[in-house]
Structure 1
Amino acid sequence: MSLLNSIDRPHVLTAIETWDKAGGANYMLVRGGVSTHVLLHGGREYDAAAIMGIAHGLATGRTLTPADIPGGGAGATKALVRLGFQVRDDSPPAERVPGTRARAPRTPSTTPRASGVRSTGTPRPTRVAASDRPDKLCPTCFIALPATGICDQCD
């Protein structure tokens, strides 16, 4: 069972009230950072991890720091969304290392992909069946050359 499963919606609402009464707007200045997971409630923005830490304290008696929350800000976001809150993720997109799978699921694009073209923009080598290849022609009489490559007519 996750640490955050004990938190209910009323705990989060009380944590938001506690945050506002304590002057939590200065929290990020004290913490010395920028929140990448922002809880949006009542036209205001809150640090999602900090609110979940306070809400955990209200639910269990033990307040969590953002570092104690399983999954950090992303874990807090997941729990808040589960409880019906709106959260904005301002974290920068993770760079994909070549040869690894993408972290986010792919979404279908609105424009069809051209066949034979890689996502990197380099053309994909296409294989052509031997029966579909054009015949080699004699440069003199323009008749198809036999497998030997020597024209029977021009010899």
Structure 2
Amino acid sequence: MATFSSVTPQHVLSAIAEHDDRGAQAFLGVYGFTPTAGVTLTHEGRSYDATALLAVAHRYATGRAALPEEMTAGKVAVGTILAKRGFEVSGGRPSAPARRIASRTPSRQAAVPRARKVAEPETPPAMCPTCHMALPGTGVCDTCA
């Protein structure tokens, strides 16, 4: 079973570019998909078969395209995965969080800087005055005691 945690928006955009270069029918045929009326991804005014795009995006991420059998029968929440990566997805039955994410448009707002915790300098270990070895937690030198 394919996992899609390594698929990034850039991988999906690469799959979209390949789809545009090959054409819809050739793109689906190369990877063994048939046109589905399920989930549709819309990007820059064009509609794409989201299931096939995600399978090919998986190929760009891992080197292996997800098989049609792995993507069908509700095994993969295609709409949810693509919506979490910032794409506009319609159709299917995405979960409530996916609809909320899909309806949001990606924004380029500046991130609020977080306060960084300043690292405290390390204190040097206690040293034995006789043999100059680091003392253990007991404070008594194992060599000189």
Distance 2:63 2:83 in 1: 23
1:20 to partner: Cα distance:
0.9
Conservation of the 8 A alpha-carbon contact between 1:11 and 1:55: yes
**Same amino acid, percent of matched pairs:** 32
Distance 1:32 1:9 in 2: 23
Structure 2 equivalent of residue 84 of structure 1: 86
Alignment of 1:52 with 2:54, yes or no, is: yes
**The residue matched to 2:4 in structure 1 has which SS?**
helix
Structure 1 equivalent of residue 4 of structure 2: 4
1:28 to partner: Cα distance:
6.4
Q: Please list the CA deviations of residues 5-62 of structure 1 after superposition, one character each: whole Å capped at 9, or x if unmatched.
A: 1100000001000011111256569855432100011101101110000000000000
Q: With structure 2 as the length reference, what TM-score do the two structures score?
A: 0.53
Q: Considering only aligned residues, what root-mean-square deviation do their CA atoms show, in Å?
A: 3.1
Structure 2 equivalent of residue 39 of structure 1: 41
Cα pair distance change 1:8/1:33, threshold 3 Å:
closer
Amino acid aligned to 2:51: A
Q: With structure 1 as the length reference, what TM-score do the two structures score?
A: 0.50
Distance 2:60 2:34 in 1: 25
Structure 2 equivalent of residue 14 of structure 1: 14
> For this pair of structures, how many residues does the alignment match?
92
1:75 to partner: Cα distance:
1.2
Conservation of the 8 A alpha-carbon contact between 1:40 and 1:85: yes
Cα pair distance change 1:35/1:73, threshold 3 Å:
farther
Distance 2:76 2:63 in 1: 23
Q: Which moved more, 1:80-89 or 1:64-73?
A: 64-73
Cα pair distance change 1:24/1:72, threshold 3 Å:
farther
Cα pair distance change 1:74/1:13, threshold 3 Å:
same
Q: Please list the CA deviations of residues 98-149 of structure 1 after superposition, one character each: whole Å capped at 9, or x if unmatched.
A: xxxxx98xxxxxxxxxxxxxxxxxxxxxxxxxxxxxxxxxxxxxxxxxxxxx
**The residue matched to 1:62 in structure 2 has which SS?**
coil
